[in-house]
Chain A
Amino acid sequence: MAWTRQVLRVNLSEGSCIPEPLNMDWANQYLGQRGLATRYLVEEIDPQCDALGPDNKLIMATGPLTGTMASTGGRYSVITKSPLTGTVACSNSGGFFGAELKNAGWDMIIFEGKAAEPMYLHIENDSAKLVPASDLWGKSCWETDEMLHARHQDPQMRVAVVGRSAEQGCLYSAVINDLHRAAGRSGVGTVMASKNLKAVTVRGTLGVGNIQDPARFMSAVNAGKKVLAENPVTGEGLPALGTQVLMNVINEVGAMPTRNMRESQFEGASKISGEAMLEPRESDGKANLTRNGGCFACTIACGRISTIDREHFSVKEKPQYWGNSGGLEYEAAWALGSDTGVDDLDALTYANFLCNEDGMDPISFGATVAAAMELFEEGVITTQHTDGVELKFGNAQALCWAAEQVATGTGFGADLHLGSRRLCEKYGRPELSMTVKGQEFPAYDPRGIQGMGLTYATSNRGACHLRSYTVSSEILGVPEKTDPLQTEGKAGLVKAFQDATAAVDSAGLCVFTTFAWTLDDIAPQIDAACDGDWSPERLVEVGERIWQLERDFNMKAGITGADDTLPQRLLKDAAKSGPAKGKVCELGDMLPEYYQLRGWTADGQLTAETRSKFGLPS
């Protein structure tokens, strides 16, 4: 139980919405959300299909704890094949949409085919129908959300939507839900738009009541909430400063990727940090941060709710941006700020608003702008390409201009839609792209945090911090401190984080709980909610099975062991300052051991024995 055991299959080519029972054999092997939806995807699509063609499918999936009172139990993921990386894509989002979907009685929605004209899916409990959306096409996520709420006259309805960037083919477009939460990475929004699917609206009033043992569940939930409240990261740091608590910390350890990763410390970090967001500004005496906000059921509440200074150049003539909205998280602040060399907090907040308004992944967007800035400084891109804009590192006006261009796909925005790898290839300088498997790096320089190098190289969705966040151990000392500059033991650390994270995602929980929770805190919640026995050991096994399944998909899609690498800049050019000065990322010291621990061949292939051990489909 805890699953609704109902899947909604939406065929956009035929215009049909048909319920079907959840495959419980798979649920027992893959739990839910990320793992279970990947199992469906593997079964149903050719890994070599065109990610933006009608043969790709897109799944919105909840986990067994989504919609329950388990802290952070509101999450859903969007699973599909990525147009950015060609690998499996699985982007996780909070907010309230996922819980609403579960409350409407659905574990997941599988979208297949392609609609002949723009449509949106409207769900009210067991009623689901496709509705023409030509009037919504060409509108931003925010406009679309407002129009849909006005049309349905239901303030409680939840909306997931793609913006204009996705419609225009930007390869890193997100699915935005609840205005400023994002299934952000790998272009899952681009796939949704490619199917002419503009939005999904959900109202669920059925509730989640099929908990196996409600009394034991509430006891485990309350114990978990207490652990989160008493932990310094989840109980103090994240509520007060959000993920932006990391900006100064990571800069000090010399792992702050700066100016397209040429450097690893940013002199302007303190100006764009979580602490800076609390400082009263000159114009109106208000701070950038209004308050923190929580996603559904979350007792951490790391979300930032911010305003832009009305006197700032970016919004002076634009009162529509004067209100509160989703503020800077660490990843956005890094990518839009440090990586582009811009230390103007309001400019970053404005660019972040635009990323939410039109559904761009701020990590990939910021990193792509950073690559373009390096190409500009190298003289490869000129003012002729940019309508006269000086696309230099540190230019806040250029950053805001780029966000506006990418939001609508106009002018140079079409080039920036390509993402860093394709942009650098187009301009003949592929070595300047800071990507793995085509996906842009997040905010940790692997020269200063070695385990993150292996994390990026082996992540099943290209460069990503959320697949094995060894920063926890290497910097924060959770669950135990390891030396960020050493490679020894990192292969095992990365594998352990990868497996545990896959299980946490698949439960419908937020990975941020794991700053405080181990699987010993999580397993009792799943075990009380679901039928069957769910021990920490079983969750590790499920997590590893998910990892192997994702890897298997990627290999069938054409990825090879040679793709498990990093840009030469990180492998050859030593860090210039900070504690990691003189260091490169020693990926070669870690990768062979990692392959061995995974049960793969020396060139990264799954063996028959490993496939059989985890019962992977042929």
Chain B
Amino acid sequence: MLKSLNIDPGKCTGCLQCEMACSLENEGVFNTAKSRIKVFTFHEEGRFVPYTCTQCDEAWCMHACPVDAIVLNPVTGSKDVKNDLCVGCKVCTIACPFGTVNYNADSGKVVKCDLCGGDPQCASACPTNAITYVDANATGLDKMRQWAGKTDNAASTGA
């Protein structure tokens, strides 16, 4: 079963546990500046929104890379950056419509979410289930369930 990250901003409290888990897994330090998932705060609106790579099937970054340094992981479906091939040209950062591939000046390579090889640490760390790792074919299931509950009129008709 292919799984994907499912993000529900309504549950996010902006605590950045996901960003720290990501940087610890991938960089070996607690460093939100190096996280591949980002939580954006919209202060006036009172919203926190986590955002990261959605692992497009026809990934713009993968197709744009001139040296084939971004490759499909057949197990997880993630598009992974091969550091030994990446030349740091940043074409993928231009190609990605969502901005989720970014250049790391320290390494001279680009970085993006690789689903931690199938055990995404952001989802494990999230205290409110705003980030979950679920069946890719059913990411809408929770929302469907909520709406299903609202559309159930059995109670009123039975009265």
Complex Cα distance A312/B88, Å? 55
> A196 contacts the other chain (Cβ, under 8 Å)?
no
Q: Is the CB of B33 within 8 A of A225?
A: no
CB distance from A559 to the nearest CB of B (A): 39
CB distance from B9 to the nearest CB of A (A): 10
Which of B16-24, B67-75, B151-159 makes up part of the contact surface?
B16-24
Q: Can you list, as one digit per residue, whether each of A433-475 has a CB less than 8 Å from chain B (1) or not (0)?
A: 0000000000000000000000000000000000000000000
Residue of B with least CB distance to A228? B127
Among the listed A69, A179, A204, which residue makes an inter-chain contact with B20, where contact means beta carbons less than 8 Å apart? A69
Complex Cα distance A204/B17, Å? 17
Q: Is the CB of A69 within 8 A of B21?
A: yes
B28, B32, B45, B47 interface centre (most CB from chain A within 10 Å): B32
Complex Cα distance A293/B45, Å? 12
> A291 contacts the other chain (Cβ, under 8 Å)?
yes
Q: Is the CB of B29 within 8 A of A209?
A: yes
Q: Can you list, as one digit per residue, whether each of A148-163 has a CB less than 8 Å from chain B (1) or not (0)?
A: 0000000010000000
CB distance from A197 to the nearest CB of B (A): 25
Residues of chain B within 8 A (CB-CB) of A208 are 29-31
Q: Contacts A179-B43, A307-B46, A323-B45 given; indicate if A294 touches B14 (C-beta within 8 A).
A: yes
Complex Cα distance A303/B23, Å? 25
Among the listed A67, A294, A306, A324, which residue makes an inter-chain contact with B13, where contact means beta carbons less than 8 Å apart? A294
Other than the given A204-B33, A208-B31, 7 more pairs (CB < 8 A) read A69-B24, A207-B34, A296-B16, A299-B127, A305-B46, A307-B46, A323-B44
Q: Is the CB of A324 within 8 A of B27?
A: no
Residue of B with least CB distance to A298? B15
CB distance from A71 to the nearest CB of B (A): 8
Among the listed A69, A205, A207, which residue makes an inter-chain contact with B17, where contact means beta carbons less than 8 Å apart? A69
Q: Is the CB of B125 within 8 A of A69?
A: yes
Instruction: Tell me the residues in window 102-157 of chain B with beta carbons closer than 8 Å to chain A beta carbons.
Output: 125, 127-128
Among the listed A103, A225, A291, which residue makes an inter-chain contact with B31, where contact means beta carbons less than 8 Å apart? A103
Complex Cα distance A301/B16, Å? 11
Q: Is the CB of A297 within 8 A of B20?
A: yes
Q: Contacts A156-B33, A294-B13 given; indicate if A207 touches B46 (C-beta within 8 A).
A: no
Q: Is the CB of A205 within 8 A of B48?
A: no
> A616 contacts the other chain (Cβ, under 8 Å)?
no
Q: Is the CB of B127 within 8 A of A293?
A: no
Q: Is the CB of A295 within 8 A of B46?
A: no
Q: Is the CB of A229 within 8 A of B127?
A: yes
Residues of chain A within 8 A (CB-CB) of B24 are 69, 214, 218
Q: Is the CB of A301 within 8 A of B30?
A: no
Complex Cα distance A208/B28, Å? 9
CB distance from A161 to the nearest CB of B (A): 15
Among the listed A205, A225, A297, A301, which residue makes an inter-chain contact with B34, where contact means beta carbons less than 8 Å apart? A205
Q: Can you list, as one digit per residue, whether each of A308-342 has a CB less than 8 Å from chain B (1) or not (0)?
A: 00000000000000011100000000000000000
CB distance from B25 to the nearest CB of A (A): 10
Q: Is the CB of B28 within 8 A of A291?
A: no
> A292 contacts the other chain (Cβ, under 8 Å)?
yes
Complex Cα distance A204/B10, Å? 28
Residues of chain B within 8 A (CB-CB) of A48 are none
Complex Cα distance A142/B33, Å? 24
Complex Cα distance A301/B127, Å? 10
Measured as residues with beta carbon below 8 angstroms from the partner, the interface class of chain B is: 20 to 34
Q: Can you list, as one digit per residue, whether each of B24-56 has a CB less than 8 Å from chain A (1) or not (0)?
A: 100111111110000000011111100000000
Complex Cα distance A252/B157, Å? 42
Residues of chain A within 8 A (CB-CB) of B27 are 207
Interface size on A, residues (CB 8 A): 39
Residue of B with least CB distance to A299? B127
Complex Cα distance A96/B27, Å? 21
Residues of chain B within 8 A (CB-CB) of A610 are none
Residues of chain A within 8 A (CB-CB) of B29 are 207-209
Q: Is the CB of B13 within 8 A of A68?
A: no
Q: Contacts A207-B27, A207-B33 given; indicate if A297 touches B16 (C-beta within 8 A).
A: yes
CB distance from B131 to the nearest CB of A (A): 13
> A206 contacts the other chain (Cβ, under 8 Å)?
yes
Interface pairs A-B: 9 shortest CB-CB: A207-B31, A209-B29, A324-B46, A294-B15, A323-B44, A207-B29, A299-B127, A301-B13, A294-B13
Residues of chain B within 8 A (CB-CB) of A211 are 30
CB distance from B27 to the nearest CB of A (A): 7
Q: Is the CB of B34 within 8 A of A295?
A: no
B14, B21, B44 interface centre (most CB from chain A within 10 Å): B14
Complex Cα distance A179/B41, Å? 12
Residue of A with least CB distance to B23? A207
> A290 contacts the other chain (Cβ, under 8 Å)?
yes
CB distance from B44 to the nearest CB of A (A): 3
Among the listed A99, A206, A290, A297, which residue makes an inter-chain contact with B46, where contact means beta carbons less than 8 Å apart? A290
Q: Is the CB of B15 within 8 A of A296?
A: yes
Instruction: Tell me the residues in window 181-236 of chain A with beta carbons closer than 8 Å to chain B beta carbons.
Output: 204-209, 211, 214, 218, 225, 229
Q: Is the CB of B43 within 8 A of A323?
A: yes
Q: Contacts A207-B27, A208-B30 given; indicate if A324 touches B16 (C-beta within 8 A).
A: no
Instruction: Tell me the residues in window 510-566 of chain A with beta carbons closer than 8 Å to chain B beta carbons.
Output: none
Complex Cα distance A209/B24, Å? 8
CB distance from A90 to the nearest CB of B (A): 24
Residues of chain A within 8 A (CB-CB) of B28 are 209, 214
Residues of chain B within 8 A (CB-CB) of A297 are 15-17, 20
Residues of chain A within 8 A (CB-CB) of B17 are 69, 297, 299
Residues of chain B within 8 A (CB-CB) of A179 are 43
Q: Is the CB of A103 within 8 A of B32?
A: yes
A71, A179, A293 interface centre (most CB from chain B within 10 Å): A293
Residues of chain A within 8 A (CB-CB) of B14 are 293-294
Residues of chain B within 8 A (CB-CB) of A67 are 30
